[in-house]
């Protein structure tokens, strides 16, 4: 069966080959293509000197999110005879990498795909892109004079840059800058809706959300704009529901409320022509298709249909023209495009396959514990587990009181693990009740892996984000162990201990025994959204190597782009060390040791060479 649930969450992009390798393929809508084995890709990259951890991006996967989104809206528009267009924008914050933004802009040309800038630096990025003529640049966030000046001036170059007003005060800045420049701006207004959506980002919606203008102030704003002659500039209404909205009913409810505001503003004489529903389109990370933190109960087609239908219906009812629809769906567009791949370096194994040999001298609790073995059978597994835990805890208490020595304690711990292993073996063959399975999830192996959770998967640490995580090879072999994956930082938070499997979410990952001198690769999928720049330098682990490949369609791949991960010298400079100064200081310490006679000249050479090599090396295990 599909132990790892790949067919549920794989989106037609991730497959398992008969030889047990995990493979990537373009989706069916791109025409049938031959899947490419990920271990083979890694071997190829390794031959070219590109080591794990690697953030692997697949060019076509970057484009499918974009295409699925735009197709969903154009299909919904055609199906409902909606009399308006869709003009999506990519929120740069979701993945600011030049390569990603560049490719999306290029691939987005036919759709007049635009960009959303939430800050001055993001606007600077947007204005350096060859956007299609009809594409929008939507400016959100708090804006100063400089930001607003640049946005207004860019209209002169043909950019369609919309400044979304976050407050009444912001309008006054816009008015002043616009008067100074003698150029009228294109404006939007961020309306604070009262509907609260469910999910992790619930606080981005409703009365308590920090952004936007509520009903109490919006009429004041409109009147102020009318009296200053700026009402004609207000063409867009913006609403943002939060990210990863789990339930499509929330989408319909918020869009309905947004339409009421839109209709009323039109009634007040505001020439609105664009309705921007912000972000929220979620990714079904678990493949469960249900409304939960890491899954969504809708497809992109259903999301688009919910918006298009609701807006069309509301506008017909109110007698207004259908607006051009905008969404700022970033997560959906880029999440699938990349995966993090790392190796297991070592393991701390739980479970002793050998029955410990006991002598007459051992405490009777140890003999009692080993005797559990005789009744490890289906129907009595919970009882075996309870008994083993009881004896183990009694033995630990004896040790704490000084009534048992460390050698006996060690034997007792091994007896416990032996019984546990026996119980687990019977469970593997016959299954177990839920309570026992859950209790046993705590007794797992640790697989120590070459990556930093804080650098490469920050949301896993910060907000319990789940991504599909699987071994990339030997999936034709029954896994014999259950493991939690620990990272290379020396922080106990640096671990992945929640996994999406075919039958639900588990606290450990089924893995295989490690083999001498053979790599054991793990892949974390769908990490293209938010992770790259939210990551931090905990323990000074830097960026991983990033490689973009394209799949040839015939089972091969080509490297499109490569960015080497940070060297130690680079990471040091990010935190204000001068690597040259560090080297000088180290050199001086070595010279003092030479002067004292504790280091000879050969040692001096190797000390300095080792320090220099490390400065130029990868921050990860090499
Ligand atoms: N637009 C705005 C204003 C946002 O704040 C965000 C992020 O939360 C987005 C768009 C992106 O949303 P998503 O995560 O759905 O791509």
ipTM: 0.99
Give the separation between CA 357 and CA 411, rounded to whole angstroms.
9
State the DSSP code for 495. Answer: E
281 within ligand 1 shell (Cβ under 6 A): yes
329 within ligand 1 shell (Cβ under 6 A): yes
139 within ligand 1 shell (Cβ under 6 A): no
Interval between CA 281 and ligand 1 midpoint (Å): 9
Interval between CA 574 and ligand 1 midpoint (Å): 28
Q: For atom 11 of ligand 1, which residue has the closest CA?
A: 279
Give the separation between CA 572 and CA 523, rounded to whole angstroms.
28
Interval between CA 407 and ligand 1 midpoint (Å): 58
* pLDDT at residue 554 in the model: 86
H or E element that contains 330: none
Contact 164, 137 (CB under 8 A): no
Contact 282, 201 (CB under 8 A): no
Interval between CA 468 and ligand 1 midpoint (Å): 22
94 within ligand 1 shell (Cβ under 6 A): yes
Contact 328, 113 (CB under 8 A): no
* pLDDT at residue 480 in the model: 84
Atom of ligand 1 nearest to the CA of 201: 8
Give the separation between CA 370 and CA 364, rounded to whole angstroms.
10
Give the separation between CA 136 and CA 235, rounded to whole angstroms.
12
Give the separation between CA 123 and CA 610, rounded to whole angstroms.
44
Cα–chain center distance at 275 = 28
* pLDDT at residue 32 in the model: 64
279 within ligand 1 shell (Cβ under 6 A): yes
Q: What is the mean pLDDT of the chain?
A: 94
Fold type of domain 364-432: Methane Monooxygenase Hydroxylase; Chain G, domain 1 (1.20.58)
Question: 425, exposed or middle or buried, with CB in 10 Å at 0-12, 13-18, 19+?
Answer: middle
190 within ligand 1 shell (Cβ under 6 A): no
Atom of ligand 1 nearest to the CA of 141: 3
209 within ligand 1 shell (Cβ under 6 A): no
Pocket test for ligand 1, best of 240, 303, 333 (most atoms within 8 A of CB): 240
* pLDDT at residue 22 in the model: 97
Interval between CA 282 and ligand 1 midpoint (Å): 10
Could you tell me which CATH number the domain at 6-55+338-349+444-565 has?
Answer: 2.40.37.10
* Same fold? 6-55+338-349+444-565, 364-432: no
Contact 261, 237 (CB under 8 A): yes
Pocket test for ligand 1, best of 93, 162, 197, 244 (most atoms within 8 A of CB): 93
Give the separation between CA 527 and CA 468, rounded to whole angstroms.
9
Interval between CA 260 and ligand 1 midpoint (Å): 22
Pocket test for ligand 1, best of 200, 279, 463 (most atoms within 8 A of CB): 279
* pLDDT at residue 433 in the model: 74
* pLDDT at residue 515 in the model: 95
Q: For atom 9 of ligand 1, which residue has the closest CA?
A: 279
Q: What is the gyration radius of the CA atoms in the chain, in angstroms? A: 29
Pocket test for ligand 1, best of 243, 336, 459 (most atoms within 8 A of CB): 243
Closest of 17, 88, 95 to residue 57, by C-alpha: 95
Contact 127, 80 (CB under 8 A): no
Question: Residues 266-323: pLDDT tens digits?
Answer: 999 999 999 999 999 999 999 999 999 999 999 999 999 999 999 999 999 999 999 9
Cα–chain center distance at 467 = 7
* pLDDT at residue 246 in the model: 96
Residues 6+ apart with CB under 8 A from 38: 21, 22, 23, 24, 341, 472, 521, 523
Q: For atom 12 of ligand 1, which residue has the closest CA?
A: 279
Is residue 490 among the annotated active site residues? yes
Give the domain ranges of the chain: 6-55+338-349+444-565, 58-335, 364-432, 569-616
280 within ligand 1 shell (Cβ under 6 A): yes
282 within ligand 1 shell (Cβ under 6 A): no
Give the residue ranges of the chain where pLDDT is below 70.
32, 208, 210, 351
278 within ligand 1 shell (Cβ under 6 A): yes
Contact 89, 328 (CB under 8 A): yes
Q: Which CATH number fits domain 58-335: 3.40.50.980, 3.30.70.100, 3.20.20.10, 3.30.465.10?
A: 3.20.20.10
521 within ligand 1 shell (Cβ under 6 A): no
* The two structure tokens encoding residue 216: 């109490």
Interval between CA 588 and ligand 1 midpoint (Å): 51
199 within ligand 1 shell (Cβ under 6 A): no
Closest of 128, 119, 179, 185 to residue 146, by C-alpha: 119
Among 233, 259, 490, 582, the active-site one is: 490
State the DSSP code for 513. Answer: P
């Amino acid at each position: 069966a599909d132990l790892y649930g790949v067919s549920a969450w794989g989106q037609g992009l991730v497959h398992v080959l008969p030889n047990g390798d995990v493979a990537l393929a373009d989706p069916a809508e791109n025409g049938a293509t031959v899947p490419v084995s990920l271990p083979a890709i890694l071997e190829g990259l390794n031959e070219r000197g590109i080591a794990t951890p690697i953030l692997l991006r697949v060019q076509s996967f970057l484009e499918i999110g974009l295409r699925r989104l735009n197709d969903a809206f154009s299909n919904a528009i055609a199906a409902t005879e909606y009399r308006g267009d869709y003009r999506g924008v990519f929120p740069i914050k979701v993945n600011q990498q030049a390569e990603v933004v560049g490719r999306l802009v290029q691939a987005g040309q036919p759709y007049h795909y635009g960009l959303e800038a939430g800050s001055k630096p993001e606007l600077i990025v947007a204005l350096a892109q060859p956007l299609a003529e009809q594409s929008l640049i939507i400016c959100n966030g708090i804006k100063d004079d400089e930001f607003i000046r640049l946005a207004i001036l860019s209209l002169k170059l043909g950019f369609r840059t919309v400044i979304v007003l976050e407050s009444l005060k912001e309008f006054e800045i816009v008015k002043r800058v616009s008067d100074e420049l003698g150029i009228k701006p294109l404006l939007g207004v961020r309306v604070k809706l009262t509907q609260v959506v469910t999910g992790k980002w619930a606080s981005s919606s409703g009365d308590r959300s920090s952004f936007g203008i509520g009903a109490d102030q919006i009429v004041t704003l409109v009147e102020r704009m009318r009296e200053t002659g700026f009402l004609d500039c207000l063409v867009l209404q913006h609403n943002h529901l939060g990210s990863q909205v789990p339930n499509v009913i929330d989408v319909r409810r918020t869009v309905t409320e947004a339409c009421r505001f839109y209709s009323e503003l039109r009634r007040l004489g505001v020439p609105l022509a664009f309705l921007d529903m912000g972000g929220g389109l979620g990714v079904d990370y678990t493949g469960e298709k249900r409304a939960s933190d890491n899954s969504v109960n809708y497809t992109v087609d259903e999301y688009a249909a919910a918006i298009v239908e609701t807006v069309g219906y509301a506008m017909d009812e109110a007698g207004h023209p259908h607006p051009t629809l905008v969404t700022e769906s970033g997560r959906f567009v880029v999440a699938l495009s990349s995966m993090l791949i790392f190796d297991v370096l070592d393991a701390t194994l739980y479970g002793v396959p050998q029955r410990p040999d006991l002598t007459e001298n051992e405490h009777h609790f140890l003999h009692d514990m080993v005797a559990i073995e005789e009744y490890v059978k289906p129907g009595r597994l919970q009882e075996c587990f309870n008994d083993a835990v009881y004896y183990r805890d009694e033995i630990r208490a004896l040790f704490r009181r000084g009534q048992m020595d460390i050698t006996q304690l060690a034997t007792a711990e091994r007896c416990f693990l032996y019984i546990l292993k026996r119980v687990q073996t019977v469970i593997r063959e016959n299954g177990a009740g839920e309570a026992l399975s859950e209790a046993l999830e705590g007794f797992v192996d640790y697989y120590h892996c070459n990556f930093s959770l804080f650098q490469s998967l920050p949301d896993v640490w910060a907000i319990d984000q789940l991504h599909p995580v699987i071994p990339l090879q030997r999936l034709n072999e029954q896994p014999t162990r259950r493991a939690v994956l620990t990272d290379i930082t020396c922080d106990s938070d640096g671990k992945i201990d929640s996994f999406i499997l075919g039958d639900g979410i588990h606290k450990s990952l089924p893995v295989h025994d490690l083999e001498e001198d053979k790599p054991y690769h793990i892949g974390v999928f769908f990490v293209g959204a938010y992770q790259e720049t939210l990551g931090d330098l905990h323990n000074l682990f830097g960026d991983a190597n990033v490689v973009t490949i394209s799949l040839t369609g015939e089972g091969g791949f080509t490297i499109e782009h490569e960015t080497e991960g940070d060297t130690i010298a680079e990471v040091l400079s990010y935190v204000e060390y001068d690597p040259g100064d560090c080297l000088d200081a180290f050199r001086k310490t070595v010279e003092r040791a030479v002067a004292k006679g504790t280091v000879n000249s050969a040692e001096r050479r190797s000390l300095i060479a080792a320090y220099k090599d490390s400065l130029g090396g990868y921050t990860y295990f090499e």
